[in-house]
Structure 1
Amino acid sequence: MFKEMHDLFQWAWLIPALPFLSFLLIAFVTKRSKGLSSTISILAILSSLGLAIAIAYSVIRAGAEIVEHPAIINVNWLNIVGLKIDFGTIVDPLSAMMLFVVTLVASMVQIYSLGYMRGDKGWSRYYAYQSLFASAMLGMVLATNLLQLFIFWELVGLCSYLLIGFWFFKVSAREAAKKAFMTTRVGDFGLLLGMLFLYTKFGTLDFVALSAALNTSFQDVVVVGTASYVTVMAFLVFMGPVGKSGQFPLHVWLPDAMEGPTPVSALIHAATMVVAGVYLVARMYFLFDFASPAALQFVAGLGAFTAIFAASIAVVQNDIKRILAYSTLSQLGYMMFALGVGSFSGSMFHLMTHAFFKALMFLGAGSVILALHHKQNIWDMGGLWKKMPITGWTFFIGILAISGMPPFAGFFSKDEILANALHNGHPIIYAVGLFTAFLTAFYMCRLFFVVFMGPVKPENQHVNESPWSMTIPLMILAFFSVIGGWAALPEHNFAFFVHYGEFEHEAINWFLAGISVLAGLLGIGLAYAVYVKKVIAAESMVVRFPGIYKLLKNGYYVDEVYLWIIKNVMGGMGKVLYWFDIYIVDGIINGIALTTRGSGKLLRRTSTGQVQMYAMVFFFAVVVLFMVFAFGEGQLTALNPLATLGGVK
C-alpha cells in the first residue's frame, strides 16, 4: 500500500507546477481575454487542490510510516566541485497539511475574486499574479533544501510586492508595496547569512542531511563549540521569519499591506506570505531544538510579545482591514510562541485553523467593503446583519472561531497552545497568551457588533448581499472554521500533528480549556456591554485615558521611531559621509589632479620645439656639470687632512 502511495507522491510537483503554468498562459497568451484568464487560473488551482487532498488522504492512511520515512524525490540541479544542489519534493504530514491549506484558501480567494474584482482593468494581470503567488508558496512548502526554499521564499516576497501594489496608480499602494518589500529584505539578509554559515559548517543545505549532521555533532563530544555556533545560526535563520511573519520589530509592513485588494489580504494573511515564516521555523525545528535553550526561549518570548503587542493595538483601530491585520500579527505571535515552548503540533494546528477563519473574515470584510462602495471605517457601517445575512452569519462563525469558543476550530488549537505553554514550564507566556485571548475576543466582537449590529446609517439603506461567487467561498470557509478543530478529538488524531515521528497531541485538558473559554467569554461580554448595551461609553474611556488611546492608535509610534532613525541617524551618517567624500576623498583626488596639471603646465614651457633652444640648454647644462665636478674635487682635497699624509691623494 505504501508503494502505491509513493507513486502518488511522485506527482506532488504538479501542485505548484499547475498554477505556474496558468501564470505563463495568462501572461503570454490569454491576457487580453479576461474570462479565459480567470478560468485558466481557477481550474489550475482547483486541480492542485484535488491533488493536495489526495496526497493528504494518503498521508493520513500511511500514519507513522510516512513520519519515519518521508517521501523525498530529488533531481540534481547543480553539481560542480565542492557544490551539489538538488531540487525536489518532500511529502510528510507537515507539507501535506500546508498543501491542503494553501490550495484551499487560494482557490476560495480566486473564486471570490470573480465578484470582487469584476470590472477591474487589471483583471488578467490580477489572476496571473494570484497564480504565481500560489505557485511560489506551494513550491516553498515542497522544497527539500534551504536553497530551493529560499528561491521560492523570495518569489513569495516578489508576488506580495506585486499584489500589495496592484493598484499602482494609488500612491499609498505603491508606498505600502515598497515598505513590505524592503522591510522583509532585512530579515531575509539574516536568513541568507544563516544559510551560508550552515553550509560552511555542515557542507549541505538539505533538511534531512542537516538534521542528521546536527545529531552527529551532538553525539560527537570532540566537536567543541558546535552548540553555540548552531545557536548563532538559529538566530540568523529566525530573522527571515521575523520579517515574513511580521514579528516585532519587523511587523510594520503588514498593516500597510491592506492597500492591496481585499482578496489579496486574505491570501497573504491566511495561507501564503505571513505563514511562510512559521512554516520555515517548523521545517527547521531540528536546528532550534539542537541549539542552546536561548534560541527557543527567544522564539517564545518574541512570539508572546508580538501576540499581546498587536492585540492591544487592534483594540482601538477603526479600519476593518487594519483590525484584521493586527489580529493576524497577534495570531502569528501565538504560532511562534507555541513553537518556542515546544508545542510543535499546537503551532501547526493553529496555523491550519487560523487559515480557515482568517481567510473567512477577510473575505467577509471584502463583502462588506464592496457593498458599501469601498468604505472601510467600521463607524460608517452598521445594521448589516439583516441586509447581508450570509456575510453576517459566516463572519460571526469566524468571530467565534478566533475567540476560542467550542466547538469551533480556534478553540481546539488555541487550547493546545496554552496547555502546552503551562505544562512545559512557561507560566508567564501562558498568562500572556490567556490575556491575549481575552483581548482577541474583545476587539473582534467590537468589530462585529459595530458593523453588523450597530445602527443603520441612512446612506446604507439600499445595501444588498454580495453575489454567489463571493458568498459560496464564505460558506465553505465557514464550514472548515467549524469542523477544522475536530481533528484534535481522540478519534481524529490525524498524523498531521506529529513531532519527530512521535504523536505529541494529548487529550484536551478541560479545566485549562474552561479557563481559556472563560477569558474569551469575558472579552465577548465586555464588547457587548460597551458597544451594544452602552453600559460603558467607549468615548468616555478615550477622554479619560487620552495618552494610552493615542499610544495604541498610533501603534506605539514604532513607524515614527523608524522614520526618526532614518531621518536623523541614517540621514546624519549620510551627511557625514557626504562631507567626508567631498572634502577628504575628493580633496585628495582633486589635489593630486591639480598638482599634475600644474607640473604639466610648467614642463610644457620647456618643450618649445626649437633646436637652438635645446642646444643652448644642453650647453649650459654641460658647463654647470663641469663646474660642479671641478670645484667639487678641489673642495674635497682641501677638506681632507689625510690626503697629504703618506702620499695619499
Structure 2
Amino acid sequence: MYQLIVFLPLLGFLIAGLFGRSIGAKASEYITSGLLVVSAALSWVAFVTVGLGHAEAFTVPVLRFLDVGGIQADWALRIDTLTVVMLVVVNTVSALVHIYSIGYMHHDPHRPRFFAYLSLFTFAMLMLVTSDNLVQMFFGWEGVGLASYLLIGFWYKKPSANAAAIKAFVVNRVGDFGFLLGIFGLFVLFGSVEFSTIFASAASYLPAEGAAEHGDTVLNFLGYALDKHSALTIVCLLLFMGAMGKSAQVPLHTWLPDAMEGPTPVSALIHAATMVTAGVFMLARMSPVFELSHSALTVVTFIGAFTAFFAATVGLVQNDIKRVIAYSTCSQLGYMFVALGMGFYSAAIFHLFTHAFFKALLFLGSGSVIHAVSDEQDMRKMGGLRRLIPTTYWMMVIGTLALTGVGIPATIIGTAGFFSKDAIIEGAFVGHNAVAGFAFTMLVIAACFTSFYSWRLIFMTFHGKPRATADVMHHVHESPPVMLVPLFVLAVGALFAGVIFHDQFIGEAYNEFWKGALFTLDTNHILHDFHSVPMWVKLAPFAAMIGGFAMAYLFYIRSPEMPKVLAERHRGLYAFLLNKWYFDELYDFLFVRPAKWLGRFLWKKGDGWLIDGFGADGISARVVDVTNRVVKLQTGYLYHYAFAMLIGVAALVTWMMLGSSF
C-alpha cells in the first residue's frame, strides 16, 4: 500500500509527460487525477491505521540507494504518525488541485505538461516526507525545488513568470547550501545519515550535570574548534537555514510572493500543503536533534515571530488577491516556526495540518474569482461579486473564518485555525526561551493584522459597488462543478479538522497518537503548561481577531474613503509596506546588481578581451592573419614562381658555400 501511495503520482507523471501528446489532454487529466485520488484515499487508510489505530512505526524497504565509503543509505519509506499526517495533507490537497485544474486550465493548450509537472511535484514531496535518511530527504527536497521551478515558470512566454521561477530557484539554493552543510555536519558528528542511528546517538550530546562547560573538539567549522554542544547548535542552525529557504522565512522569503506568477492551482499546491511546509516537517522530524540545542530553538522562535509580524504588515496593503493570500501563508509559517522553536512540535504540525485545508480553500477560491472576472487579480477592480458568484463567496468566507481563527475561547466551538493558531499563541506565552515574550506579542499583533487583511480581501472583492468594467461584469459567472467540488471538500476540513483532531495532536490522546514520532526532553513541559494559561491569554487572539474585523468593516464598508485618506496622510509608511519593507530593492542593490556587474565584466573583459583575445581565438586569429599574407604569394604567374625558385636555389648554394665552413 505504501509503495502505491508514493509511486502512483510518479506513474502519472511518466504517463502524462511521455505520452501526453499521444493520448491527449483529457486522458492526461483523468489519468493523473485518478491516480492522485487513489493515492489520497490510501493515505487516509494509512492515517487511520498508523495514527488513529496506534500502530507501531516501521520502515518499508524499496531498494539499495547509496553505498559509498562510509556513507550507506537505503531507499526506504519511514512510516510513523508524522509521515501519515504529511501523506494525508500532501495527497489530499494535491488530488483536489488536480481535479480543480481540469476546469481552471481548460483552455490551456499545454495541459498534459501541466498535469505531469503537478504529479512530479507531488512525488518529490512524498519522497521527502517518507524519507528514512538525510540523503533521501535531500533528494526529495531538491526534487520539490525543481518541480516548483517548472510550475512557477509554466507560462514560459511571460517574462515575469520566468523571472519568478529563477528567483525561487536561486533563493532556495541559498537555503539548500546551508541544509547540505548541516547534513555533512550530522554525518561528521554521528557517522551516519540514517535517522534511527542519529536519533539513538543524539542523547549523548545532552550536557551532563556537573560537566565542564567546554569539552573536546568534535567539529571544526570556519576555523573554530567546536565541542559537542556548540557543534550541535551550528548543525541545527545550518539545517534551519535550509528550512528558511523552503518555508519562506525572513530573509529568504522574497521568492514566495513572486511565485504567484504561476497558475492559481500551482499557488495552492505550493503555498498550502507541500513545498512551503517542507521546512516545518524537516524540523519536526529532526526534533531529537533540535531539542538538545536551546540556542538553535531560540533563533528559530525569533525568526518565526518576526516573519509572522513582517508578512502580516505587508499583507495589509497588497492589492493583488493572490499576493494577499501569499503573504498570509508566509505569516502562518512564522506561527509554525514559533511553535517549533518553543519545542511545541505537535502544535506546529497541527497548524500545518489545518492550514493546508483553509489555505488551499482560499487559493482555489481566489482562482474561482479570477476565473469569473476574466483573469483580473487586482481587488481594486472587483467589488460587488457576492450576488454573482455566491458559492465562491461563501467558500471564501469559510476559508477566512478558519484563517482568522474564529471560535469561542475555552470551548470546543471554532474553526480549524482557532484550535491550532490559538494553541501556538498560548504556547508562546508559557515558553521558556529568551524570546518567548517577544514571540507572544508578535503573534497577537499578527493575528489582528491577519483578521484585517483577510476581511479586507472579502469586502473589496465581494462587497460594495462593482468597480470592474461593464464588459467584465457582464461575463462574470460561477465556476463549473469540477472547480467547486474541491472547494466543498476543503471547506469541510477548514471548519471541522481542528475540533475533530484536537485531542490527537495536542490533547489527551497525544501520547498514543504520536508514539515517539516527535521527541521532547523530560524538561519540556509546554504541552502541559499551555492548557493552564490565564483567561486573558486565551482571549487575546480572540480580541485581536475581532479588532481586525471591526477595522476592516469600518474601512471598506462604512467609510470606503478612509483607506485612501490614511494612505495620503502616512505616505511614507504606506510606501514602506506596499514595497514589502524594500527587501527586494535591498537585495537588488547588495546582490543582484553587483552579481550582474561582475558577470558582465568577466564576460566582456575576462572572456571576450583576455581569453578570446589572447587565448584560443587570439591564436587562431594570428594564424589566419599569417596565412592571409602568405596566400598572397600564390599569384598564378609562372615568372613569379620561377623567380621564387631562383631565390631558393641561390639560398641553397649560399648555405652550401658558407654554411659548411662552420
TM score, norm. by length of structure 2: 0.84
Gaps of 5+ in 2: 218-226, 408-413, 624-649
Q: Look up the SS of the partner of 1:456 in the other structure.
A: coil
- Name the aligned partner's letter for residue 410 of structure 1: G
- Give the aligned partner of residue 137 of structure 1: 125
Cα distance in 1 for partners of 2:610, 2:597 equals 17
Alignment of 1:220-259 (within 5 A): 223-224=216-217, 225-259=227-261
C-alpha separation between the residues in 1 aligned to 2:657 and 2:251?
80
Partner of 1:324: 325
Is the CA contact 1:288–1:295 (under 8 Å) kept in the aligned structure 2? yes
Structure 2 match to 1:633: none
Q: Deviations over 1:206-259 (max 9, x none)?
A: 112112222234479775402212222222222211111111111111111111
Deviates more, 1:609-618 or 1:398-407: 609-618
> Where does residue 530 of structure 1 map in the other structure?
555
Partner of 2:642: none
Tell me, in whole angstroms, the C-alpha distance in 2 between the residues paired with 1:331 and 1:618: 95
Q: How many residues align?
A: 598
Q: Which residue pairs with 1:154 in the alignment? A: 142
Of residues 587, 593, 611 in structure 2, which corresponds to 1:562?
A: 587
Match of 2:95 in 1: 107
Cα displacement string for residues 448-499 of structure 1 (whole angstroms, at most 9, x for unaligned residues): 1111112134442552211111111111101100111112245765715973
Residue 192 of structure 1: which of 175, 180, 183 is its match? 180
Change (3 A) 1:573 1:30: closer
Q: Which residue of 1 aligns with 2:487?
A: 474
CA change 1:546–1:589 in 2 (3 A) is same
2:116 to 101, 118, 128: 128
Query: How many Å separate the matches in 1 of 2:560 and 2:654?
Result: 113
1:387 aligned counterpart, secondary structure: coil
Task: Report what 1:24 is aligned to.
Answer: 14
The equivalent residue for 2:44 is: 53
Superposition pairs of residues 572-587 of structure 1, within 5 angstroms: 573=598
The residue number in structure 2 matching 1:413 is 420
Q: For the structure 1 residues 580 and 544, does the alpha-carbon distance in structure 2 shift closer, same or farther, using more than 3 Å as the test? A: same
Q: Greater shift after overlay, 17-26 or 194-203? A: 194-203
**Match of 1:435?**
445
TM-superposed deviation, 1:75: 4.0
Shift of residue 61, structure 1, vs aligned partner: 3.7
In structure 1, distance between residues paired with 2:49 and 2:651 = 95
In the superposition, relative to structure 1, how do residues 535 and 219 fare at CA in structure 2: closer, same or farther (>3 Å)? closer
- 1:140-539 matches, within 5 Å, as 140-218=128-206, 223-224=216-217, 225-291=227-293, 293-406=294-407, 407-425=414-432, 426-457=436-467, 458=470, 459-486=472-499, 487-489=501-503, 490=507, 495-496=513-514, 499-500=518-519, 505-506=527-528, 507=531, 509=533, 511-534=536-559, 537-539=562-564
Aligned-partner residue type, residue 85 of structure 2: M
Aligned-pair CA distance for 1:28:
2.1
Q: Is the 8 A contact 1:72 1:144 kept in 2?
A: no
Q: What amino acid maps onto 2:248 in structure 1?
A: G
Deviation at 1:355, TM superposition (A): 0.6
| Cα shift at 1:409 | 0.5
Highest Rg: 1 or 2?
A: 1
Which secondary structure state, in structure 2, belongs to the residue aligned with residue 13 of structure 1?
Answer: helix
Which string of whole-angstrom CA distances, capped at 9 and with x for unpartnered residues, describes residues 407-447 of structure 1? 00001111111111110131111000100000000011100
Contact 1:97–1:496, Cα closer than 8 Å, also in 2: no
- Residue 74 and residue 210 in structure 1: after superposition, are their counterparts in 2 closer, same or farther (change >3 A)? farther
* 1:622-633 correspondence runs (5 A): none
Distance 1:164 1:580 in 2: 34
- Alpha-carbon distance between aligned partners in 2 of 1:416 and 1:19, rounded to the nearest angstrom: 34
Q: Indicate the RMSD between aligned Cα atoms, in angstroms.
A: 3.0
Structure 2: which amino acid aligns with 1:242?
M
Unaligned stretches of 5+ residues in structure 1:
1-10, 598-607, 621-649
* CA distance, structure 1, for counterparts of residue 437 and residue 579 of structure 2: 30
Cα deviation, residue 83, structure 1: 2.9
Q: Distance in 2 between matches of 1:581 and 1:170?
A: 31
**Cα distance change on mapping 1:447 and 1:215 into 2, 3 Å:** same
Deviates more, 1:137-146 or 1:562-571: 562-571
Indicate how the Cα distance of structure 1 residues 463 and 588 shifts in structure 2: closer, same or farther if over 3 A, else same. Answer: closer
Task: Confirm or deny: 8 A CA contact 1:269 1:328 kept in the other structure.
Answer: yes
Contact 1:403 1:411 in 2 (8 A): yes
8 A contact 2:287–2:520 mirrored in 1: no
CA distance in 1, matches of 2:607, 2:161: 36
Partner Cα separation in structure 1 for residue 651 and residue 362 of structure 2: 90
Task: Supply the distance in 1 between the matched residues of 2:553 and 2:327 (Cα, whole angstroms).
Answer: 21
Q: What CA distance in whole angstroms lies between the structure 2 residues aligned with 1:571 and 1:363?
A: 37
Deviations 1:578-624 (A, max 9, x none): 7688999999989x99xxx9xxxxxxxxxx9858648856856xxxx
- 2: CA distance, partners of 1:571 / 1:113: 38
Residue identity matched to 2:579 = N
* Matching residue of 2:633: none
Residue in 1 that maps onto 2:643? none
Q: Which residue of 1 aligns with 2:2?
A: 12
Q: Percent identity?
A: 40
